[in-house]
A and B are shown apart, each in its own frame.
Chain A
């Protein structure tokens, strides 16, 4: 019996004995569940995106100060929110994996990281494109943007570390320690960069001063944020399915699938 299928038996036992939650903690059980949930989250993402973009471009009015340039916020702000949110979720899954020693938790953390990094990059890119027409330069050492940049480094560090370690279990656990240390640092980093920013530039340069929010603008942003959230879940579920197949390749349930095809 291979190690993979041994652990499966233990997790399935625990699952059978008890709660719904534990039953799906086994990669074998989670695989089909993720497959069923994926399309729903994808559809929700598309729906919210259409609604959000409609509100953002056809309902929300022109901004008095920034003209049409402000419409970048409908992608910039949700991307920034997701980049931070996903890091916290990723670190939570990782911590769970360390504490409960479940394999799926580590897989979920690894599944979330690339999407989080993508949103961080997007937040930076759209931030620059928002900054150029409003403040005149492509990059501003604004507290938020600078913190986003450091957040991107933290994501890249997590991905680099987990990719560099060959043993998946060790990779997951090392990534978990790193993610937890990162999550503790994020508020400290943000606070430090805030302080640094006000010292060096004064309050005048700040992308965080969004246009005065008409209710429709806020609605558009929230809809897009929901779209980003649904998308992230769908992407993470898709990715974790691949990770499960990659890691559990010796397990009997996968061999069984092979046989059926």
Chain B
């Protein structure tokens, strides 16, 4: 089973590497969205500091929305996905591999950029650390849940927006606790409960999302 995961990760990473420009676009989009908020709400440092975690997290959600379409689309288009479905490897392993690879080129770069974003908003060091950790735990959940949405909307009209419509409500708990973690630290309280809940979400989505994604993929092919 782990062969399947490794195969999918390696293949998707190789394909992403060939289109490095595309991957970079999501990062740039993330930075642009984060920058738009202060332009929209004014530059009051106290206001921005209190909003920082929420802004960074919302930008991460939106960037995830854009990048998720790539998850299955090209494999679906050229028939590779069908091959994967009838291969000896369990479909779940391949799905997990693709999701891991998706996170490596979308969620992880955003997480690594978070400290820079945090400085833009004049967050304390502790808040920046907690924000980064929250993204580290939370962005994989975004990729996992997003995979379900991507599989459901394969080849469907209105794909991108429909995907966002389906997945964003499901992201709400991750958003609440992800952004909430850093906000807690800013008011001097511990972020541990928030981060543990995020960990719980990660565990639950690791258990449920691959199953749902496989079910959705099979629906697309029946």
A and B touch in the complex (CB under 8 A): yes
A: which residues have CB within 8 A of B? 98, 150, 153-154, 156-157, 160-161, 164-165, 169-170, 173-174, 177-178, 180-182, 184-185, 188-189, 191-193, 195-196, 199
Q: How far is the CA of A185 from the CA of B169 in the complex (A)?
A: 9
B172-A189 in contact (CB<8A):
yes
Q: How far is the CA of A180 from the CA of B157 in the complex (A)?
A: 22
Q: How far is the CA of A188 from the CA of B157 in the complex (A)?
A: 30
Q: How far is the CA of A178 from the CA of B219 in the complex (A)?
A: 11
A156 contact set on B, CB distance < 8 A: 165
Q: How far is the CA of A153 from the CA of B152 in the complex (A)?
A: 17
Q: How far is the CA of A192 from the CA of B158 in the complex (A)?
A: 30
Given contacts A169-B222, A181-B148, A193-B176, contact A161 B215 (CB under 8 A): no
Q: How far is the CA of A181 from the CA of B215 in the complex (A)?
A: 11
Can you name 20 A-B residue pairings with CB atoms under 8 Å? A157-B166, A160-B158, A160-B162, A160-B166, A161-B152, A161-B156, A161-B166, A164-B156, A173-B222, A174-B219, A177-B152, A177-B216, A181-B170, A181-B212, A182-B169, A188-B204, A189-B173, A193-B172, A195-B177, A196-B176
Name which of B158, B162, B166, B216 has the most chain A CB atoms within 10 A of its CB.
B166
* CB 8 Å contact bits of B170-191 with A (1 = contact, 0 = none): 1011001100100000000000
A170-B173 in contact (CB<8A):
no
Instruction: Determine which of A165, A180, A189 lies in contact with B169 in the assembled complex, contact meaning CB atoms within 8 Å.
Output: A189
Name which of A177, A178, A182 has the most chain B CB atoms within 10 A of its CB.
A177
Nearest residue, chain A, Cβ from B149: A178
B222-A170 in contact (CB<8A):
yes
B: which residues have CB within 8 A of A? 148, 152-153, 156-158, 162, 165-166, 168-170, 172-173, 176-177, 180, 201, 204, 208, 212, 215-216, 219-220, 222
Number of A-B contacts (CB under 8 A): 76
A192 contact set on B, CB distance < 8 A: 172-173, 176-177
Instruction: Determine which of A161, A169, A177, A189 lies in contact with B162 in the assembled complex, contact meaning CB atoms within 8 Å.
Output: A161
- What is the minimal beta-carbon distance from A87 to any residue of chain B, in angstroms? 12
Instruction: Determine which of B172, B173, B216 lies in contact with A174 in the assembled complex, contact meaning CB atoms within 8 Å.
Output: B216
A154 contact set on B, CB distance < 8 A: 169
Q: How far is the CA of A188 from the CA of B177 in the complex (A)?
A: 11
Q: How far is the CA of A165 from the CA of B220 in the complex (A)?
A: 10
Q: How far is the CA of A20 from the CA of B153 in the complex (A)?
A: 37
A180-B173 in contact (CB<8A):
no
Q: How far is the CA of A199 from the CA of B53 in the complex (A)?
A: 15
Given contacts A160-B158, A181-B208, A189-B172, 11 further A-B contacts (CB under 8 A): A153-B165, A160-B166, A174-B220, A181-B170, A181-B212, A182-B170, A188-B201, A189-B169, A191-B173, A193-B176, A196-B176
B177 contact set on A, CB distance < 8 A: 192, 195
A196 contact set on B, CB distance < 8 A: 176, 180
Nearest residue, chain B, Cβ from A192: B173
A164-B222 in contact (CB<8A):
no
Q: How far is the CA of A161 from the CA of B180 in the complex (A)?
A: 31
B156 contact set on A, CB distance < 8 A: 161, 164-165
Nearest residue, chain A, Cβ from B209: A181
A157 contact set on B, CB distance < 8 A: 165-166, 169
- What is the minimal beta-carbon distance from B114 to any residue of chain A, in angstroms? 21
- What is the minimal beta-carbon distance from A252 to any residue of chain B, in angstroms? 25
Nearest residue, chain B, Cβ from A181: B212
B158-A184 in contact (CB<8A):
no
Q: How far is the CA of A169 from the CA of B215 in the complex (A)?
A: 14
B165-A160 in contact (CB<8A):
yes
Nearest residue, chain B, Cβ from A151: B169
A174-B169 in contact (CB<8A):
no
